[in-house]
């Protein structure tokens, strides 16, 4: 606690810590048990990542420093619009790379996307959907996410950004990205967005999840939620 806290706070904080330290806790599980459980997660993420199992949800283990993939692209049209939480980089082919961290200002991101010609609705703790559902953004080529660790991704990185859009991307639908530990980069092509639609980006604290999908601007509903739905 800081010195400028309430005079009683330091003592109270110490009392809380003392109380906590007196808690008897059971012996920790074996490391092997934790790793075994972790392997289940890793397999599950990789299976989702590869699109196996017919699941509609694409879950991605994120955070491999993908910003560098786009950093040296000679086709870059404009300088990146960068904040502490996200970076937008436009390319001459009309696409925009969005690199977003775990914490970002939804309103600022929505404004920045609009400046890049991307119609979007960005919210935290709220899930928005269309009725009926809008087309698949991955199939339309509106949204794609480089697959961290994939051979194509590594090849893409080795080429310093050349051909990123063609060879290093995975379509996702709906795009539920978790766990959201480090920044993730995705590529958005606003020209492929059907008329009357916009990109919904939902940030959910529960499980550090980012959710992306297309919605109809005039026919969608939003509801507060700590997590996105498992499937659309």
Partner 1 sequence: MSQGNAEFAEFFAASWDPCLRAVAASTGSLTLAEDQVAEAFARAWASWPKVSRHPAPRAWIVRTALNAGASAWYRRNKETALASDDFAVADSQAAGLDTAVLTALRRLPARQREVIVLRVFLDLGIDATARQLGIAPGTVRAHLSRAMTALRGELAPVTTAGAGR
22 binds partner 1 (CB under 8 A): yes
Residues 213-232 within binding reach of partner 1 (CB under 8 A): 226-227
Q: Provide the Cα torsion 161, 163, 166, 171; round to 10°.
A: 0
Query: HSE of 70 in the Cβ direction (CA atoms, 13 Å)?
Result: 29
Choice between 94 and 101, CB closer to partner 1? 101
Nearer to partner 1, 106 or 141 (CB): 106
CB 118 within 8 A of CB 101: no
Neighbours of 99 (CB within 10 A): 22
Which residues are CB-contacts of 184 (< 8 A; sequence separation ≥ 6)?
60, 62, 63, 66, 99, 100, 145, 177, 210
Provide the minimum distance between the beta carbon of 143 and partner 1 in the complex, in angstroms, as a whole number. 22
Beta-bridge mates of residue 124: 203
> Does residue 107 contact residue 186 with C-beta atoms inside 8 Å?
no
Nearer to partner 1, 2 or 218 (CB): 2
Q: Which of 3, 8, 54, 151 binds partner 1 (CB under 8 A)?
A: 8
Taking the C-alpha atoms of residue 35 and residue 92, their distance in angstroms, rounded to an integer, is 45
What residues from 138 to 197 belong to the interface with partner 1 (CB under 8 A)? Answer: 179, 181-182
Tell which one of 72, 191, 206, 219 touches partner 1 (CB under 8 A): 206
> How large is the greatest C-alpha to C-alpha distance in the chain, in angstroms?
62
Asked if 3 touches partner 1 (CB under 8 A), the answer is: no
Listed residue (143, 145, 125, 132) closest to 62, CA to CA: 145
Q: Can you tell me the distance from the alpha carbon of 114 to that of 79, in angstroms, rounded to the nearest whole number?
A: 16
* Per-residue mark of binding to partner 1, 81-110 (x: CB under 8 A): ---------------------xx-------
**Residue 33 beta carbon to partner 1: minimum distance, rounded to whole angstroms:** 8
Nearest approach, Cβ of residue 180 and partner 1 (Å)? 10
Q: Which of 117, 163, 194, 207 binds partner 1 (CB under 8 A)?
A: 207
Shortest reach from residue 62's CB to partner 1, in Å: 7
Binding site residues, partner 1, CB under 8 A: 1-2, 5-6, 8-9, 12-13, 15-17, 19-26, 28-29, 31, 33-35, 37-42, 45, 61-63, 102-103, 124, 179, 181-182, 205-208, 226-227
């Amino acid at each position: 606690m800081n010195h400028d806290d309430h005079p009683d706070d330091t003592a109270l904080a110490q009392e809380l810590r003392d109380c906590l330290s007196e808690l008897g806790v059971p012996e920790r599980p074996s490391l092997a048990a934790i790793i075994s459980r972790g392997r289940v997660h890793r397999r599950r993420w990789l299976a989702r990542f590869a699109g196996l199992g017919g699941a509609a949800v694409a879950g991605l283990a994120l955070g491999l420093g993908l910003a560098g993939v786009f950093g040296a692209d000679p086709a870059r049209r404009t300088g990146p619009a960068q904040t502490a939480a996200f970076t937008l980089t436009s390319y001459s082919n009309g696409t925009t790379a969005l690199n977003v961290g775990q914490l970002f200002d939804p309103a600022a991101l929505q404004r920045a996307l609009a400046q890049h010609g991307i119609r979007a609705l960005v919210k935290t703790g709220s899930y928005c959907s269309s009725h009926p559902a809008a087309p698949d953004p991955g199939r339309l080529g509106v949204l794609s996410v480089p697959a961290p660790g994939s051979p194509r991704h590594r090849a893409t990185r080795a080429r310093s950004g050349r051909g990123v859009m063609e060879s290093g991307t995975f379509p996702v639908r709906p795009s539920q990205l978790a766990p959201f530990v480090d920044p993730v980069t995705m590529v958005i092509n606003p020209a492929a967005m059907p008329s009357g639609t916009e990109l919904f980006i939902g940030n959910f604290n529960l499980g550090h999840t980012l959710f992306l999908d297309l919605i109809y601007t005039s026919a969608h509903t939003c509801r507060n939620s700590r997590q996105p739905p498992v499937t659309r």
